Amino acid sequence: MDKKLFTILLLLLCIRAQAQSSLLWEISGKEQKHPSYLFGSFHLMCKNDFSYGPKLSERIRQTEQFYAELDLTQSGLQAALMQGLTLKGTTLSQLMGSQDYEKARTAFKQITGMDLQLFNQFKPFMSLNLLALYAIPCSDKVQPETQLFQIASEQKIPVAGLETLADQLAAIDAQPIESQLKTLSATLQNYDSVKLVMKQLLQAYQLNNSDSLYRFMQSNSKEDYFEKELIEKRNQRWIPVMDRAIRNKPTFFVVGAGHLGGSSGLIALLRKIGYTLRPLND
């Protein structure tokens, strides 16, 4: 499988390997009386494949605020996302050229059953996200962070976000349109490989052991440029927000699992500013 395509698929799903032993971490230290928690999520998966134990939900109930990447209570997020991904002064067909666009349109229709023309006004990232969604082999899909958010809502725990939608869109736009177009074409041409990688990623994630994710990633390459924008720079921006939240109240954080590991991951960065992080295997 094309290495760049592999990397983009991982980043679309915000999951990357980390040489640690859990996806759930207890955050303590710095004279905090009660711990906070950090959980690495897979942003979209089959409903039957996602389950959380009573200890995970109990840890949410033990905290006093809930942070996802975005504030999930904010109104108009979907409309703002659509607006942010809209092309200005051009269309997807114009960018690709008529011949390449028609080839892409045929392949996109075969995969999704939808006409690529529906996304002609949007940046390639929109179509790429849809292709990633269709690579998940089921019709009934869930967003794990939304499930956890519902637990917090039922307990009337205040909800907030680590960043704004504008921050996320800026990270997406860091990949030039020309690069997004090449990735879209590669995805359409190698979709069987995309589905295979998706299956392997889901299997690795379900082990609830980031060591398995690390071993999986060791056999594949990564593209530093895109990873830096979607993972590393966002982690750096989140750390002050997380620090303030933890100092204020015990907090439950849920982010894409790709943000946890490595020397630039949230685990390492939180330790760097003085917190103790302990893996929990529930």
Which residues lie closer than 8 Å to 269 by C-beta, 6 or more apart?
235, 236, 239
> In DSSP terms, which residues pair with 86 in a beta bridge?
122
The string over 149-171, giving b where at least 16 C-beta atoms fall within 10 Å of a residue's C-beta and e elsewhere, is bebbeeeebebbbbbebebbbeb
Three-point CA angle 224, 260, 187, nearest 5°: 45
Which residues lie closer than 8 Å to 207 by C-beta, 6 or more apart?
none
Q: What is the mean pLDDT of residues 178-193?
A: 91
Give pTM, 2 decimals.
0.85
Instruction: Inform me whether the pLDDT recorded for 206 exceeds 90.
Output: no
Note the pLDDT tens digit of each residue in 22-79.
789 999 998 889 999 999 888 788 888 777 778 889 999 999 999 999 998 888 888 9
Direct distance between the N- and C-terminal alpha carbons of the chain, in angstroms, rounded to an integer: 34
Please state, for a pLDDT cut of 70, what percent of the chain lies above it. 84
For residues 261 and 214, the answer to whether their CB atoms sit within 8 Å is yes
Residue of 49, 40, 67 lying closest to 280 (CA atoms): 40
